[in-house]
Amino acid sequence: MSRKTIEKNLAFDTERNLYYVAFRENGRRITRTYRTWEEARSALEQGPRRFPDRKWTLEEWLAFWLEEIASHGLAETTLYAYRNMIRCHLQPELGAIPLAELTPMRIQAYLQGRINRGLSPNTVVKHYVMLNTALSLAVRLEVLERNPMDRVIPPRRQEARISFYSPEQMQRLFAAVEGTHLELPVKLAAYLGLRRSEICGLRWENVDLEAGLLSIREVRTEVGGSVVLKAPKTRTSARRLGIGGLRDLRRVLRQAWEHRRSDDPKEWVVLRRDGTPPDPDLLTRDLMMAVRRSGLPRITLHGLRHSFASVANSQGVPMFDISRTLGHSSLSVTSSIYTHLFDTTESRALAAVARAIEGGHEI
């Protein structure tokens, strides 16, 4: 069995990496799961939490939903964002309101208030989604009779502003970072469209220079000042890319291979000058400093990912192939991000009309 008893009422599942705590509640045995030993021990010492009822406040319900339900299925990055939303915004504004008194008008006023205080509509939409998810569960568990979110109108999303470089600007950036610790991450983003977390999570076991293959199997990101390793964002984000024809990128990768710290296949590919893997946020700051010194427009590693998509589109690469290379979950995701930037249908139609008029031909 994968579940091993640590002490009375506390067990650990070696396959799922979860701790199980058993409680007695109203004469029944109840088991709850926790991600860390500290959480499990704390729960065991405090005893079972009371089951939610209609008298609970929104703050109490969100704490129950987040820690008892959502924490077992959401990524650590998402949980961190939700905890911040609750602590910094929802708890001070709506937390003390009993669930039964939480009206659509109060929630609508809260959402608009966040925008009035400077949050972007796209950020406030995330508040709407989290509240809707949490309160929908309250209805399913019969803690609420109806979900007040059903009558709340979410903010209208704003079109994201996407920054990207032209091929000429990317050449200038390449010259600016040549021979520095930024050369490899910059070229991985520009040539392959990799995400920052994918660049930071790349190990030598996933790079085959002889076969010309590079695989994305793990990502390395930052959550609340701590570096977190996890699986790629979606199933399609785990992908294999052919780099056989990319001579410049293979040259830089070979240089990094020759200067690696050890023969351990799990060694990180991208390293700083001192031989340590860079913190993702620090890598972004280093790039921004290099861009500023070179006099180029502001860009991030994610902006170089957009630049890859822009160049690919300008060279006639089908949107489907761009989507697969970027590791998007579906073609619709790629289209929603890039179609308004790269769609030239309208300009082609106008040019055709102009040619017909100027040539005196019937349309």
Query: In the CATH scheme, what is the code of domain 167-345?
Result: 1.10.443.10
The pLDDT value given to residue 158? 82
Least confident of 63-72, 175-184, 282-291, 322-331: 63-72
Kindly list the domain boundaries of the chain, sorted by start residue.
1-49, 57-158, 167-345
For residue range 257-288, list pLDDT tens digits in order.
Answer: 998 888 899 999 999 888 888 889 999 999 99
Q: What is the mean pLDDT of the chain?
A: 87
The arithmetic mean of pLDDT across residues 316-323, rounded, is: 90
Residue type, 2: S
The pLDDT value given to residue 72? 80
The pLDDT value given to residue 7? 84
The arithmetic mean of pLDDT across residues 161-165, rounded, is: 85
For residue range 40-90, list pLDDT tens digits in order.
Answer: 888 777 765 556 666 889 999 998 898 888 888 788 888 889 999 999 999
For residue range 221-239, list pLDDT tens digits in order.
Answer: 887 777 888 888 788 899 9
The arithmetic mean of pLDDT across residues 91-100, rounded, is: 93
Higher-confidence residue: 86 or 5? 86
Whether residue 354 is predicted with pLDDT greater than 80 in this model: the reply is no
| Domain 57-158: CATH superfamily, name plus number | Tyrosine recombinase, N-terminal domain (1.10.150.130)
The arithmetic mean of pLDDT across residues 112-131, rounded, is: 95
The pLDDT value given to residue 15? 73
